[in-house]
Structure formats: C-alpha cells, structure tokens
C-alpha cells in the first residue's frame, strides 16, 4: 500500500494558508498514487493557543467537510493529523480520520496534554481510544506526546492495530527522543509506525524527521528538515510475519502487570 506522508510547514495562526497548502499537498499525494494520506498535528492553527477562541474549528465542522470531500473525491483514506477544535466551551487537539468513501472513522481528542507547551492550560484532554479500519487494515491514531505512554499505544495494538499513525509537532530539541520512542513503539508492538511531524521555517524549532518504521524496527523512510511529500510503499503482511517469528502477544503475562497501569 502506498502512504502519502505530508511533512507540512505549518503557518502559525494562519488557518486559510494552512487549509490551502494541505489541500494542494493531499491532491498531489493522490496524483502520485497514495492510498493513505497522513498529516501532522495542529495543522490548522499550530500552537496559537492564546488565539484559539477565534481560530479553533467549531465542532471540527470545517475540517470534517474538507476531509470528507477530499477523501471521497480522490478515493483515498486520510488520517487527518490533528486540528484545534472547539466543542462546547472547551478546546481540543482533535484527530479526524476518513475512509475513501468519505466516512468519518474516528474523532480522537488528544489524551495526554503536554505541560511543557502549556497544552493543559488551554486544551481539554479526551478520554476515548482511536482504533479504526482502513479497508481491511486495522489501524490506530495517536498524537505527539501520546508516544511517551507505551501502555496507551499497547492498548491500541491489543485492540488489533497493525499500524500506529502518529501526528506530531515534535521539536528539534528532543528529536532523539522522537526517533528512539517511535522505533521502540514499533518493535515492542510489532506493528508499523507512521509518524508525521511538522517543519518550521526555522529548523531550530521543528526539523521534521517524520518516520515510517516497519514491525522489526527497520526505518523505511525518514523525512528531511524541509517541507516534503513522500510516497512510501509498505507491505502490511510484515506484521504477521514478525508476530509469528517472536510471539510476544502469546507470551505476555498480563496477570503480572496490573498495578503498573494504575496511577501511584
């Protein structure tokens, strides 16, 4: 299957510019044969947290219409990264996923808010999981800081995901953590990880390094430090092969792990 990885240069607070660029790149990805297109985190507003009242997408309506129309017209699945949304009186960091029929498969509000970026002061956390199916492919989607919580991604893998999509705005300063955590999540869950980061004009802030990793941990593609659309060919049957070779799921001892999942 061909993945269209959109490592976007997100414009701070410029919703119109971001929508226009995302549409252009999704169309380009489809024209190049992509079957699943993946976007980064908070691509409508970036982290303009102080301006969310005027900028966030109310109930995600604009983004929903936009992604539904494009996925149906172009006959592609879209893992829509995430956008800033307003629901009731609260703001969320929301991932919307559409299948090629233009149907909404998942609306996931980021579960773990990143205090270092003040997310907890402006956004509310979601409580729902995010497993979905793209045709016959079992998949799941999480957002950025979520990857520091292995139990969260494990839960999605246990619910059947063979590919974990990660949308992020992960900064250059901790890019080594990004690479290591993503590879670990792929190896331990024996699944594909498709992780799409943003870039900024100034590479000191966000330098891309989006990644596609297969279930044995081999990196199939790493993005550069500039805006980029990559088409990456993946063979999802590799998941079953790796899970047969080392039967981690059969060898798990969940009866030993219970308390690890409880908050101290």
Ligand X SMILES: O=C(O)CCC(=O)C(=O)O
The residues carrying an active-site annotation are: 41, 110, 144
Q: What is the nearest approach in angstroms of ligand X to the Cβ of residue 207?
A: 13
Contact 74, 102 (CB under 8 A): no
DSSP for the chain reads -EEEEEE-BPPTT-HHHHHHHHHHHHHHHHHTT-SEEE--TTTTT-S-GGGHHHHSEETTHHHHHHHHHHHHHHT-EEE---EEEEETTEEEEEEEEE-TTS-EEEEEE-SS--GGGTHHHH--------EEEETTEEEEEEEGGGGG-HHHHHHHHHTT-SEEEEE----GGGHHHHHHHHHHHHHHHTSEEEEE--B-SSTTT-B---EEE-TTS-EEEE--SS-EEEEEE--TTHHHHHHHHS-HHHH--GGGTGGGGS--
Cβ of residue 174: shortest distance to ligand X, in angstroms? 4
* Paired tokens of 4: 């269209």
**Binding interface with ligand X (CB under 6 A):** 114, 117, 144-145, 148, 169-171, 174, 177
- Complex with ligand X: residue 117 or 155, whichever CB lies closer: 117
- Report the residue number, 70 or 181, with the smaller CB distance to ligand X: 181
**Cβ proximity to ligand X, 170 vs 236, nearer residue:** 170
- Closer to ligand X by CB, 50 or 245: give it: 50
Q: Rg of the Cα trace of the chain?
A: 17
Nearer to ligand X, 1 or 124 (CB): 124
Minimal distance, residue 233 CB to ligand X, in Å? 29
Distance of closest approach, residue 116 Cβ to ligand X, in angstroms: 7
Closest approach of Cβ 90 to ligand X, in Å?
18
């Amino acid at each position: 299957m061909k993945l269209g990885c959109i490592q976007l240069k997100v414009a701070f607070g410029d919703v119109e510019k971001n929508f226009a660029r995302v549409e252009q790149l999704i169309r380009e990805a489809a024209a190049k044969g992509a079957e699943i297109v993946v976007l980064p985190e908070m691509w409508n507003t970036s982290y303009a947290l102080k301006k969310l009242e005027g900028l966030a997408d109310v109930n995600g309506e604009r983004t929903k219409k936009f992604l539904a129309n494009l996925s149906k017209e172009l006959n592609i699945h879209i893992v829509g990264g995430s956008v800033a949304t307003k629901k009731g009186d609260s703001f969320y960091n929301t991932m919307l996923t559409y299948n090629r029929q233009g149907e909404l498969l998942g609306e996931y509000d980021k579960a773990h808010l990143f205090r270092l970026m003040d997310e907890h002061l402006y956004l509310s956390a979601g409580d729902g999981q995010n497993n979905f199916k793209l045709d016959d492919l079992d998949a799941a989607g999480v957002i950025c800081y979520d990857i520091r919580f292995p139990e969260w991604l494990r839960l999605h893998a246990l619910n059947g995901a063979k590919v974990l999509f990660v949308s992020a705005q992960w900064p250059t300063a901790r890019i080594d953590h990004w690479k290591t955590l993503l590879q670990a999540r792929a190896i331990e869950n024996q699944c594909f990880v498709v992780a799409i980061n943003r870039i900024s004009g100034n590479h000191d802030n966000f330098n891309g390094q989006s990644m596609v990793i297969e279930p044995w941990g081999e990196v199939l593609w790493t993005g550069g430090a500039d805006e980029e659309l990559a088409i990456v060919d993946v063979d999802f049957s590799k998941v079953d092969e790796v899970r047969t070779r080392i039967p981690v799921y059969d060898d798990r001892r969940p009866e030993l792990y219970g308390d690890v999942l409880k908050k101290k």
